[in-house]
Structures are given as structure tokens and as C-alpha cells.
Structure 1
Amino acid sequence: MTDSDHTTRADTAEVAREIAVEQAHVDLVYAELAKAQARAGLVEADGLARGRTDRTGDVRDEELTGLFERDALVFNAARRRSTLDTQYEGLVFGRLDLDHALSREGAPPDREVRYIGRLGVRDDDYEPLVVDWRAPAAAAFYRATPVEPMDVLRRRVLRCKGPDVVGVEDDLMVAEAPDDLVVVGDGALLAALTRSRGAQMRDIVATIQRHQDEAIRASARGVTEITGGPGTGKTVVALHRAAYLLYSDRRRFESGGILVVGPSSAYTAYIERVLPSLGEESVTLRSLGDVVDGITATRLDSPEVAALKGSLRIRRLLARAAGGRVPDAPQVFRAFVAGHAVRVDTPALDRIRSRVLRDRQRNLATKAVEAALAEAAWASVREGDRAEFMDRFDGHLEVEAFLQQWWPQVDPREVLLWLADPELVRRHGQGVLTPDEADLFAASMREALETGTWSVADAALVDDLAARLGTVQDAPSEERGFYEIEELDDVSQFGVAEVGPSAGSAGGAGSRTAPSEPRERLLHGRVEGPGEYAHVLVDEAQDLSPMQWRMLGRRGRYSSWTVVGDAAQASWPDAQEAARAREEAFGSQERRLFHMDTNYRNAREIFDYAARVVRAEVPDADIPAAVRETGVQPVEARTTAAEVAVAVRDAVEALLEDVEGSVAVVTPRRYAAQLADVDGAAGGRVVLIDPMSTKGLEYDATVIVDPPEITRESPGGIRVLYVALTRAAHRMTVLAVD
């Protein structure tokens, strides 16, 4: 921050002149950008023109070469044009005024002006007009301080709206400014933080401080942990680290990809533009509810159910379900093979299943189980020629029909739905779950079937089951002759076998019942194996359950990691169990820690209120120092449950008068229906949101509805209330409900 004793305050006319100077340079940059776009378009057109031929028949080698050149030119030109098209918003955001003589005592002045932006732009003489923010030449923009100026006289932040410069803010890095250097504003960092926030997080590359920059540029290897309380910029630092890694080691991270995982779909929608706006597209952005392909979840379980599903002990229930009988499948095999009546009873089938699954995944064990069934069938006969029997058994239509029902390819989502049957859950959960817990779990699966929606916690369970079962294999496309089709349609009663008592009412993969519409939604798409990434970035890491850490660990076996979190905001109750699962996901990689201790988001009056609340139950909470004051204390009001909608509307109207940007109404589930019409009000400036979904988000003002109810319904109790109380930058109203 600039020392106020050495800051020259510019008057209005000077500010206007400074903006005009910067506008002239920005206009030049955009003119060059337009030229670059035109050149990219010409290259693309030239590529399309290459390789064309009017010939028919065989294509000669030179024609193939022309086609290859065309495709390469078109691809690269289109990619370049797409990159240029994304750079119009805030392309130039910074300026450095340097004097390289500062570090050389007695040397004459050696001045340079260097503009910083989202990508490098050069003029026709190949002179740099803008330096890419990730380039070494831009490092001083982030690292320079009055203590260590790095030859910087003045650091200027340009505030732009599209191609228009609307303001400038300066930090002075030397004790005394040269006479020709105008310094504008009270400092770039606080000016950026006091401006309104929109519906998506603004890119604050321009205001990253030195200690944040050190975290961004830390080694790409191992595990980089970024900790700190609310409002300390952890998320922005982590996202810019992802962009920097792509820039600094493009081959590794562009080919391997970066997985960014946030707590909710609201969070991912909020930040989705940050990385693309920096020119990086090799990033997969997922919320915890859609990390697994084939699962999209936003619904939250009750705290009791979420704790049950997230604990590692649930793996024993899943293991037994994955290795158990398929509901409604036949439990006895009967067929007529090579002149012999064959019968394999239930205990023998159970032994086959247990033996095969000892070292194989279920969906990859069809051949092994068929061979084991053949041996059991021969053991039940032991008459005639064994080789002839085995030969006839292989490919026998009745055997195939039985295996399709008894050993089908099993979708992991279907296995989880089997557990909607409380009797099945109690049987598989014996010694793992209490009867009450078994009923809670089964009820949560019935809720999924009734609503056609998964819960966020279900995604990790499906992933665990997928790892046990293996990827569902596509059926071979065999063509059968006419008589074989006739024979298959007329399979004898031996082929359908004896169906034992139903193991569950949820229906299995062998069930003939047509799926209902909610079930179709639950099973839409396909669950694939976990992708492998070069880097995994996890935000709000303190909230991950042990099962969710295992889910991410499968995707990060060979990855480096960036992990962002704050224990005081945790919604997961058992920190020790989560820590063990987290360490297992990281493996033996080296660790480094960066701690952020300054709250730039919240006005001090708001943060002091939130800190008092959380310290009452979490005395060792990591409380950062808030650096900004508004002079306005949070408003406390009271209402009744019947009048809560009126009270919220009044509070929102008052806040809309006080702030220019967004207002969030943070409500527990109890009042969500009553307040539904608030969402989207004032031209989209007002949003209705639940406390858990506020993680990682920020607003200009908030209305916090019924704090005790938020504490009661939230998995993390007071810690989740603390999150809600630290979302507002400028104003907050806390509404108690009698």
C-alpha cells in the first residue's frame, strides 16, 4: 500500500488528463488487436483455399499434403481468432512506470513505461504494447512494494469497461515522486475492493499482492496449500495459479489438463469466466456434485444423512452391495446341456460369485464367472465326456440367457438405488450401521427415486461403486442366424431358472419393469472411469468428506495439487477422518503452505460481527484482519415467521438504496418457499440462496434470515453461519425470527 505521507492527490482535471493518456494507449492496443484478428481471418481463409481439388478418384500425395496444410492452418488460425475474440473485456489493466537507475546508485534516470494485460500485444515494429501478466517482465506489477520497489516508481491500475478507460488508481513505490509523475487515488487495492461486485467474480489480477503472487508462482510439483479466513483472496489466488501453471509449463498442463473443483454449482457459475478470460481453456471446472460423469447433483442431504454418506465406514455397505446378489435375479441355474439336466443351487452360485470377485471387478469378470459356472455345472453331472460337455456349455443359449439375468453388466448408480430397500440396507449394513442409520440411508435413496435427483453426497458413493464394479462393458454385436433367433425366442423354462425372493424393491439390472421417469433421469448418460489430470485444484477443501477426498484422489493419483480452505468455515464434522483421507489422496508428495491473513472483502464492521459469532464456539478460528471501514454497523431486526417475507422485502429495498451492486438473501430451507419471489428482483440484482451454496461467493450486501435456524439445519452448525455472515462487502442486515 502507498504511504499516505508521500501520496500526491490529483485534482479532477489531472485525473481526466491521466485517463485520456491511458485511453490513447488502450485505443492503440485495440487497433492492433483488430489487425491481428483480420490477419487470423486471412490465414484461416488461405487455409480453406489450400488442398482444394476438383479431381475425382484417387487422391495424390501432393493433394493429401495440401489437405493436411489446409486443416493445420484452419485449426491454428481459428484457435488464434478465438483467443483474440475473448480479450475485449479488460485487455489492459495495469501500467508500470519504472526507473532502472533506482537500483544503480548515482546512475542517470533510465525510465520505461510497461503496460500489463491478459495477453501480449505488439505493434507493426514488433515493439511490445502490452506485456502478458504471466510473463517475467510483469512480475514487478505484483511483487513491487515500497520496501522493495524493483525499479518501480508508480504502479497504476486501469479500470476499463470494454475498450473504455473509466478510471485509474495508483500506488507509489518510492519516497518521493518525480515531478512529472501524477499519483491518483488512495491506492489501487482498496479502490478495486470497494467497487461493486457483479453476478460473476471480477478478475482482480491487477490487485494481487506480493505474498499472493508467491503462492501463484510456487513450484508446480507436490501439494500447495493456501489457507486463510474469509475475504483473504484465497480463491482468486488459486485460480490465477491454475492459469500461471498453464502458462509456465504449457505442454504438461495443457495435455494433462487441470481439474478445478468447487463446493456448488452456484460457485462454479460465479467463477467460470475467470480462467477463460485469462486465455486458458484447458481447465475442467466441476462442483462436488458433478465430478463424476453421469451424475449431476445440487440437492443437499440433511446433516445426519450427509455425515453418514461421507464417512469411510459407508464403504463396507457399498462393498457388500457391489458384491451381493442382483435383486430379482434368478437364484438357481437349471439347463439341459449335452443330454444332461444341470442344476446349480443358490449356495453354489454364491460361492462362485465370492470367488470370482475376490480379485476381479464385477463388470470385467463375465468370462471368469462363465468358466466357474461351467465347472460347477460339470460337477453336478460328472457323466459322459467332460470335453464334449464343456464345448456344448460354451455358447449355450440357455446359459447365455441365465447369465444375462444373474450376472448382468451393472451400472454403479443402479446398485446405489438398490439400497432404497431398508431390508437390504440393514442386511448389508449389519455391523456397520445401526437400524436407525440403515432406515435413514434407505429413505435418502427413496427420495432420489421419488424426485429423480441425486444428492451431492451421492456422487462420491457412485464413484466408489464404479471403482469396485469396473466400467460397464458394451454387449458384443453378434449376428445370429434365423434359426438361432427362433431358438432364443423359444428358450425352455430351464433357461429362465428359478427366481428367488426379491432382494430389494428398487429393481435390479435384470428387472423387466419399465423404468419410471425419475429413474430415467437418475440413470441418464453413462458413468465413465475417472479421468487423470496433471493438476487438481480444490476450493473450500475444509468441507470435503472422506468419501469426497477419495473421489478426488482417484482423479489425482499422478497430479500436483492446489488446496484452498479455512477450518473455521468447515461443514464436515469429523476433521480427523477427513484429514486421513486427504493425506491418502495426496500420497507422499512434498507440501508447501501459504497463509493469507488480510481480509479485503468485508468492511471491518461486518467482519467484527461475524468474528464474534464464530469465536463463541470456535475460539481458535483463524481470524484475518479486516482493512476497510465503512462506518456503518450491521443492522439487526426482528420479525415473526408469518411476516418474514414482508420483513425481507423491506430489508432488501433499503439495501438496494445503499449499494450499487448485488444483494443476497441467505435463508434456511424453512423460509425458502415464502421468499421465492425475491429471487431475481431489481433487474437480477437480488438473489435468494441457501447458506451452504454461499461458499466462495461474495455480494455487496446480504440479508441473513434466522441465524439460529441456519445453525440448526447446517452440517457445520455455527461454522456455516460464519460463512453466511462473511459474504457481504459493504452492508449486512441480520433478521431474527420469533
Structure 2
Amino acid sequence: MSEHTPDEVLAAEQRHLDHARAELARMRAHTLSLVDSLAPGHAGDAGADEALGWTLHRRAAGLVDDPSTTLFFGRTDHDDGQRLHIGRRHVTDSAGDPVVIDWRADVSRGFYRATREDRGGVRLRRRFGVEQGRLSAYEDEHLTDALPDGAEGDPASAILAREIERPRSGPMRDIVATIQPEQDALVRADAQTTVCVQGAPGTGKTAVGLHRAAWLLYAHRERLTRQGVLVIGPNRAFLQHISAVLPALGEVEVEQRTVEELLTVATEGRKEVRVRGTEPPGVATLKGDGRMAEVVRRAVWSAVGDPARVLESGAVVVTRGSRRWRVPGYVVRDLLEELTSRGVRYGAALNLLPQRLAHAVLQLLEAAGDSPDDAVQDAVARSPEVRRAVKALMPVQDPAKVLHRLLSDAEFLRACSDGVLTDAERDLLTWPTPPRTAGSARWTAADAVLLDEVRDQVRRTPSRAHVVLDEAQDLSAMQLRAVGRRCSTGAATVLGDIAQGTTPWAARSWDDVLDHLGKPGGSLEVLDRGFRVPSAVIDYAARLLPRIAPDLTVPTSVRTDPGLLQVLRVQDPVARAARTARELAGLDGSVGVVAAATAVEELARELAAQGVRFSRLDDPDPEQQRVSLVPAGLVKGLEFDRVVVVEPAAVVAAEPDERTGLRRLYVSLTRAVSAMVVLHREDLPAELA
């Protein structure tokens, strides 16, 4: 038993927190002083100076304290006498001794996974309650004590439950204080392993993906910083929602993009493709079909010419001094076949061809008794005759022009898709009124994906060290291929929920997703314990699962608070929604008003008329307000303390088919953390009636 009162214990822990804050400030001041003291040439040269300065600035940014939270949230006491305070980052004193241990360190693992059956040397786990950056409570779990008679498993933590369930307004925050054992296992999975997480609403799959990125950057800093980590989300509203998580964990250099941004913006930040057009869902679905990869491949490589047709006399003739050396057409053809069958990109084959032709000339020189060296081969490769031959045999390919021709020229499309597409599918793809040039084309989002495929056939897409892909079930096969190219030499963390697939091309299985990503050996893990969605809400939404995803198990909520659910039939759902939002805005936490896109304008007018200050998440840069008006198409991945769902029948009817509409409704019905109000005048879907 402790000789100190709870107040004395808490005061001592607060003193340790104050000490940790002071040491963190010292660490940051020291880092900034190094930046200020850098002299030109200090690191060796201008480039090294710049790299060192950037590294120090990045470290200083990662040492910024957040006064609204604490530097540590837990403590473990070990059999060997160690006492470790577990927090968001590593803090040391001036002697280099640890004051706070980073949650990502191996020694922190016991805080998340130690049990009475498998303590791993941990004898006590302490959790802290936090209010406005100060410690407000603590809770001890003595792992060496026997369970009370009749008890099964470790007792639930009241502090942990309060932290999971407390209202949260504004952007998503980290969950380092509440990571569950099954989540921690995914976060710390081997860096070379692609992990695919099927997660029901509220199971924390997005948080797992972000914390995995943070852990990887900690455990494999050099490689991942050099090659980069990329987070891909479904839309800009989602990325804004999660944007604060990684910086709060000290990781400020992680790139975050939507799929559309990824495919239209070049590495240097300039737009390579302007998406200005739209097209029917059937056309977009076909363009996203995995078979299009073969059609694109054939289109790119169709430029390779037949020596008998494109070369004068059907051969390559090179003049050296007073003699002419002739490489016969059949030899040239063999060289081309060797290059095109190696699996290299078109651009790489194009770069290799001059040397291959020059080597063939050198073989003729050697057969004639000459002894040419590498300098001669290089000279032959640069000769006008070889350059002309290469230009005729493998002309430089412009990706936009290749795709323009593929979609404009019906005969070219037929040749490239023979045995792959049907005549009806070719008719769908061919532009009825082709633009005159690639530059004048009104490219669609699906075209941008095809252009990315063409670009990769021409030159290899650079790979990141790791990619976190959220809402992966909504991507087409061609979009998944594009993402897979970005992690071809690294691994991926794939997150999603088959039941929440709301695009016409949504995935039917995770095996298909992993195959298209190029990660068929990925490990599939299932999260079905809901921590954020209360049982009243998740049980209601789960009535749709037998219809929209019959193979999935029904998720279960582990929340102690069942939450509040109201399903009300009213005469005017829009007016009632505005009034309800006004009432809920007076409570703690965030409010989301979710409706079909067709109802958003009317809702906006009604909210304004009733004096409700709100942000519209369909705005490019929404103003931060307690109440958010959200089109159902943008709500995926978001969460609000209280949600008002307006006219479910309209949400379903807005989609191209009923199944997709019911999935969109399922997403809308699983965004609430505390309470949900469903307002309708039309009949509800049969499963919810």
C-alpha cells in the first residue's frame, strides 16, 4: 500500500510533468541555438549546411509543446525497479537521463499490452486523467494482484473509458493514451509487412494507420525520412480532419493527399493534369477497370516500329571512317524484342537502344579484326545514323498524346484492346467528339488515373517508403494500381470497411484490393470492437449489414455509455434539423448535420435563418465552427459528438443504385460519438423501419 494520499501522489506526478515541460523547453532552445550558431561551411559545404539546418529546424518543430495536453499520459513500474512515464515524445534532462519515454519505444509496449497473465515485467500500470493540460486524476492497475473472485479478465479502466467517450470538437486528435492491445499490434507490425485493416465504424482504423506511420518514422527514421511517407485520404475534408494527428506526435513532414491530388499534381507541386470534365458513371467505371492496364500498355509499346518499315533499306547503317557498317533488320528486330520483353519501362528501353545498336556495330568491327573500346561504342551510340534509327524505331512518347489518341482513334483503340474489351465497351470509351489536341481535352478524374498509368509505362513512378491508404474500398482497380506504384519498394497500411464502399467500382474483397496494389501477400486484420460509436447507434446502423455486406460480422461497441438514438418522423425534416442543431450546439462537443447533397442548400438557408453558426464541409476551406453541414458524400471518415441525419430516403435515392445508397446511409448513420437524431418524412428503408 502507498504511504501517500491520492492528492500527494497526484501533486508529485504534476511536479514531474512540470519538470518534463521545462526539460522539453530546454531541448528546443538548445536545438534552436545550434541553428543560430551554424557558420557557413560548418557541415562541409553549402549543400550539407542546408541539410543540417533543415534537420535542426525539423527537430525544433517536433519539440514544440502543446499546453492543452500533457507530455505523458501513463506510467509503468517494473519488477527491476524501473519507473517509466510514457508520453508523446522522448524527453531527457541535461544529463541525458529519460524524463518521458516515447510511446513508440519498445519499452513502452508494456503500457499497452501487459496483462496479469503476461505482465512482461510490468507490475503496475498507471493512467492519468487530464484537464486543460494538467493532471486531474490517476488510476492504478496492480498486475501482480489476483483478480477478485468471479472476475474474468482485467478490470475496465474508468479513465480510459472517459478518455474514449469524452466530447471532441475540432480536428481528430491522437489516441496514444487509449490504444488498445489489438490496435498496438497493428501499429507496431513489421515495417516490411503490408497490413490491411478491415475496420467497422468507430474501431479506430484511421487512428491506427496514422499512429503506424508515426511508429515507423520513429523505428526506421533514416530510410523513411529519405524516401518519404504518404497518407492518402478520400477527400480534402477528411485530410483536414486528421491533419493535426501526426504533428501532435512530432511528425511534421508527412505528405497528405487525396487520390485526385496525387494523380494530378507533380512532385514539384505543379499541376500536370487539369481535370475539367465529367462523364457518366458507366464510363468512369470502365476506365477504372483493371483490364485498362493492358490496353494502356499496348498503346505505349505500339510505338515500337518494324525495322523493315521505318528504316531505310530495313537496316541500321553506320559510317566509321571510310567504311559503312550494316546491322541487318533481323538483328535490330531481335534487339527490340529483347528490350520490350524485359519488363522495363518504355523510356528505359529507349535509353538502352542506342547502346544496343552500337554494340551490334562493335561486334561487326571486331569480326573485321578491329579492337574497339568503350569510347568507340559511345561514339557510335551518339552518331547521327544511330540517333535517326532510334527516333524511327522508338519515338519519344508523350503520355497525354498517347491517351488522347487512344480515346479519339477508334481503330487504334480496337488494336490496343483486341481480346480485352468488347465492341460495346470500346464504343463507351471512344470520345464522340474528340478534342483536336491533348492540350484542349477536358480530362476527367478517371482520365487522370489512365494518364498516370501511361506515365508509369513510359518512366517508373518514384516509390515512397510507406503509404497509408484510408477508405481503400472505394478505389477502382486502376486507382489502386496508381497507389501501389507509390509504394512499390515499400509497404503499405491499407484501411477501410467493405460495408462502406460507396463508389460504383467499390471493392468486393480485400484480396482484390491487395492484388491491384501489387501486395498480394499483405496481412488482413479485422477490427470489430467499436470504441467511439455507442451501442445504440452502431446496433441501429448494423441492421443494414445483411443487405450491404452479408459476409461481415456485426461490430460490437465496448462503450459503457450506450449513447442516445432518436428516430423521429416529422412533417418538415429540414426545419426540424436546423432547430435540433441549434439546441445541440449549446452542449459540449461537435455537431454534424448530414444530408443528401440535394438538400444542403436548403439546410444552409434554414440554419442561417435560425441563427446557427455553421461550417460547410463542401467548401474548399471551411470555417471551423461547432456545427458542420456535411453532404453525405463527404462524411466518410469523419466523426462528430452528435449527428443529425436528415431524410435517409433522400440519401439512398441520391446514389446510382439502391445498394450503394444503403451503404452511403450506413456511413452517415455511424458518425456519432454520443448521440444521433434521425429525422424523416419519407418512409425509412425496410431494414430500419
| Paired position in structure 2 for 1:671 | 599
| Paired position in structure 1 for 2:635 | 694
- Mapped partners of 1:35, 1:416: distance in 2: 57
Instruction: Report SS of the residue matched to 1:153.
Output: strand
Correspondence list, 1:255-294, <5 A:
255-292=226-263, 293=266, 294=272
| Paired position in structure 1 for 2:100 | 130
Output one character per residue of 1:529-556: Cα deviation in whole Å (capped at 9) or x when no partner: 5221222322222222211221122222
- Mapped partners of 2:274, 2:204: distance in 1: 28
Q: Does structure 2 retain, via aligned residues, the 8 Å contact 1:228–1:622?
A: no
Alignment partner of 1:660 out of 588, 605, 610: 588
Q: Does structure 2 retain, via aligned residues, the 8 Å contact 1:290–1:296?
A: no
Correspondence list, 1:325-724, <5 A:
411-413=398-400, 416=403, 432=421, 435=424, 438-439=427-428, 442=431, 456-468=445-457, 470=458, 530-571=461-502, 573=505, 575=507, 579-580=511-512, 582-583=514-515, 585-587=517-519, 589=521, 591-630=522-561, 632-638=563-569, 643=572, 645-657=574-586, 659-677=587-605, 679-680=614-615, 684-714=625-655, 716-724=660-668
Equivalent position amino acid for 2:113 in 1: R
| Paired position in structure 2 for 1:313 | 291
Once the 2 structures are TM-superposed, how far is the Cα of residue 599 of structure 1 from its aligned partner?
A: 0.4
1:167 aligns with 2:136: yes
| Paired position in structure 2 for 1:730 | 674
Instruction: Report SS of the residue matched to 2:558.
Output: strand
Equivalent position amino acid for 1:655 in 2: L
Equivalent position amino acid for 1:252 in 2: R
Once the 2 structures are TM-superposed, how far is the Cα of residue 185 of structure 1 from its aligned partner?
A: 10
Q: Does structure 2 retain, via aligned residues, the 8 Å contact 1:245–1:253?
A: yes
Instruction: Report SS of the residue matched to 1:568.
Output: helix
Output one character per residue of 1:618-653: Cα deviation in whole Å (capped at 9) or x when no partner: 33323221122545542223457xx55423312322
- Mapped partners of 2:478, 2:635: distance in 1: 22
- Mapped partners of 1:187, 1:440: distance in 2: 58
Q: Does structure 2 retain, via aligned residues, the 8 Å contact 1:171–1:188?
A: no
Once the 2 structures are TM-superposed, how far is the Cα of residue 131 of structure 1 from its aligned partner?
A: 0.9
Higher Cα Rg, which structure: 1
| Paired position in structure 1 for 2:25 | 34
- Mapped partners of 1:698, 1:167: distance in 2: 26
Equivalent position amino acid for 2:474 in 1: D
1:45 aligns with 2:15: no
Correspondence list, 1:61-100, <5 A:
74-85=53-64, 90-100=69-79
164-173 or 316-325, which deviates more: 316-325
Alignment partner of 1:238 out of 203, 209, 219: 209
- Mapped partners of 1:301, 1:38: distance in 2: 55
Q: Does structure 2 retain, via aligned residues, the 8 Å contact 1:95–1:116?
A: yes
Instruction: Report SS of the residue matched to 2:585.
Output: helix
Q: Does structure 1 retain, via aligned residues, the 8 Å contact 2:70–2:134?
A: no
Q: Does structure 2 retain, via aligned residues, the 8 Å contact 1:606–1:634?
A: yes
- Mapped partners of 1:121, 1:686: distance in 2: 38
Instruction: Report SS of the residue matched to 1:154.
Output: strand
Q: Does structure 2 retain, via aligned residues, the 8 Å contact 1:155–1:170?
A: yes
Once the 2 structures are TM-superposed, how far is the Cα of residue 217 of structure 1 from its aligned partner?
A: 1.6
Once the 2 structures are TM-superposed, how far is the Cα of residue 613 of structure 1 from its aligned partner?
A: 2.1
Aligned Cα root-mean-square deviation (Å): 4.6
Change (3 A) 1:574 1:566: closer
Once the 2 structures are TM-superposed, how far is the Cα of residue 169 of structure 1 from its aligned partner?
A: 5.1
Change (3 A) 1:421 1:644: farther
Once the 2 structures are TM-superposed, how far is the Cα of residue 602 of structure 1 from its aligned partner?
A: 0.7
- Mapped partners of 2:678, 2:284: distance in 1: 27
Once the 2 structures are TM-superposed, how far is the Cα of residue 202 of structure 1 from its aligned partner?
A: 0.7
Q: Does structure 2 retain, via aligned residues, the 8 Å contact 1:37–1:84?
A: yes
Once the 2 structures are TM-superposed, how far is the Cα of residue 130 of structure 1 from its aligned partner?
A: 0.9
Change (3 A) 1:395 1:210: closer
How does the TM-score come out when normalised to structure 2?
A: 0.71
Instruction: Report SS of the residue matched to 1:650.
Output: helix
Equivalent position amino acid for 1:461 in 2: L
Q: Does structure 2 retain, via aligned residues, the 8 Å contact 1:303–1:713?
A: no
Once the 2 structures are TM-superposed, how far is the Cα of residue 303 of structure 1 from its aligned partner?
A: 4.6
Q: Does structure 2 retain, via aligned residues, the 8 Å contact 1:416–1:445?
A: no
Q: Does structure 2 retain, via aligned residues, the 8 Å contact 1:426–1:433?
A: no
- Mapped partners of 2:192, 2:12: distance in 1: 43
Q: Does structure 2 retain, via aligned residues, the 8 Å contact 1:96–1:152?
A: no
Output one character per residue of 1:246-265: Cα deviation in whole Å (capped at 9) or x when no partner: 22222332223222222222
- Mapped partners of 2:439, 2:348: distance in 1: 31
Output one character per residue of 1:374-431: Cα deviation in whole Å (capped at 9) or x when no partner: xxxxxxxxxxxxxxxxx999999xx9xxx99xx9976534655667869789868788
671-680 or 548-557, which deviates more: 671-680
- Mapped partners of 1:125, 1:246: distance in 2: 26
Change (3 A) 1:411 1:736: farther
| Paired position in structure 1 for 2:150 | none
Alignment partner of 1:114 out of 72, 77, 84: 84
Q: Does structure 2 retain, via aligned residues, the 8 Å contact 1:92–1:158?
A: no
- Mapped partners of 1:580, 1:38: distance in 2: 51
**Structure 1 vs Structure 2: percent identity of aligned residues?**
32
| Paired position in structure 2 for 1:189 | 160
Once the 2 structures are TM-superposed, how far is the Cα of residue 188 of structure 1 from its aligned partner?
A: 2.9
Once the 2 structures are TM-superposed, how far is the Cα of residue 198 of structure 1 from its aligned partner?
A: 2.7
Instruction: Report SS of the residue matched to 2:601.
Output: coil
Once the 2 structures are TM-superposed, how far is the Cα of residue 128 of structure 1 from its aligned partner?
A: 1.9
Instruction: Report SS of the residue matched to 1:680.
Output: strand
- Mapped partners of 2:189, 2:287: distance in 1: 35
- Mapped partners of 2:243, 2:439: distance in 1: 32
How does the TM-score come out when normalised to structure 1?
A: 0.67
Consecutive unaligned residues in structure 2, runs of 5 or more:
147-154, 267-271, 304-332, 355-382, 608-613, 617-622, 683-689
Output one character per residue of 1:173-194: Cα deviation in whole Å (capped at 9) or x when no partner: 44769xxxxxx99523221121
- Mapped partners of 1:299, 1:689: distance in 2: 24
Output one character per residue of 1:292-349: Cα deviation in whole Å (capped at 9) or x when no partner: 2335879997653442232123446656766789xxxxxxxxxxxxxxxxxxxxxxxx
| Paired position in structure 2 for 1:23 | 14
- Mapped partners of 1:196, 1:165: distance in 2: 18
| Paired position in structure 1 for 2:620 | none
Output one character per residue of 1:450-496: Cα deviation in whole Å (capped at 9) or x when no partner: 9998655444222112224x25xxxxxxxxxxxxxxxxxxxxxxxxx
Once the 2 structures are TM-superposed, how far is the Cα of residue 437 of structure 1 from its aligned partner?
A: 8.1
